[in-house]
A and B are shown apart, each in its own frame.
Chain A
Amino acid sequence: AQKITQTQPGMFVQEKEAVTLDCTYDTSDPSYGLFWYKQPSSGEMIFLIYQGSYDQQNATEGRYSLNFQKARKSANLVISASQLGDSAMYFCAMREGPNNNDMRFGAGTRLTVKP
């Protein structure tokens, strides 16, 4: 079964505006971690932000914030003040359990920032 779902294959946003990339997940484990990665056209995977299942507050890292809604099992990434350099693929990922051994990724969302 698909554990991580990203329903937006592609998104467009105007430069300097905010954008939300959707991610829903499925797990029965009470302990899990949620991650967002950015993959620019050069191909490398860049870690952006992490949210633990027991974290009380939404994670923030600079212009990135994670809108964590545990009951809805969603972990949307919000990018504020979009920049042209934000154009990339964005992947949501999850690790389950306290001794989790692998990270599962969603299919990704391609974000294009328009000037």
Chain B
Amino acid sequence: DSGVTQTPKHLITATGQRVTLRCSPRSGDLSVYWYQQSLDQGLQFLIQYYNGEERAKGNILERFSAQQFPDLHSELNLSSLELGDSALYFCASSVRLNYGYTFGSGTRLTVV
């Protein structure tokens, strides 16, 4: 157990729907990062939060949004889902900016 908790582990939903992925960072870690891993795009950085504030944005679609709550857990919201959104979504956390990440086990999203 890495200490980063992601729920759910698997999610199957239909096109056009909206889902929420949840992440609890490792105790003491202030930064949360979201990544999308698909077969054709590899690991893509989506967004980062630090202590509740958005710190950086990567290749995140406008249909996607995220937030980090006062207890530091984070949620990634994916709406108007398309087949191409099927991927493994990782959350990672780190204790400080110049340190490595600890990844959660991921949420496998399948859009049908």
Q: Which of A47, A50, A101 has the most CB of B within 10 A?
A: A101
**Nearest CB in chain A: distance from B88 CB, A:** 6
* Contact-residue bracket for chain A: 20 to 34
Is A101 in contact with B102, judged by CB distance below 8 angstroms? no
Task: Write out the residue numbers on chain A whose beta carbons fall within 8 Å of the beta carbon of B18.
Answer: none
Which A residues are CB-close (under 8 A) to B88?
Answer: 43
Interface residues on B, range: 20 to 34
B61 interface contact, C-beta 8 A: no
* Interface: B48 (CB within 8 A): yes
Q: Is the interface of A mostly helix, strand, loop or mixed?
A: loop
Is the pair B108, A91 in contact by a Cβ cutoff of 8 Å?
Answer: no
A50 near B100: Cβ-Cβ < 8 Å:
yes
B interface vs A, CB < 8 Å? 2, 33, 42-43, 45, 48, 55-56, 58, 88, 90, 92, 97-98, 100-106, 108
Q: What residues of chain A have their CB less than 8 Å away from a CB belonging to chain B?
A: 33, 35, 37, 43-47, 50, 91, 95, 98-108
Those 10 A-B pairs whose CB atoms lie nearest each other, nearest first: A101-B56, A45-B103, A105-B43, A102-B45, A44-B105, A107-B42, A101-B55, A47-B100, A102-B56, A101-B48
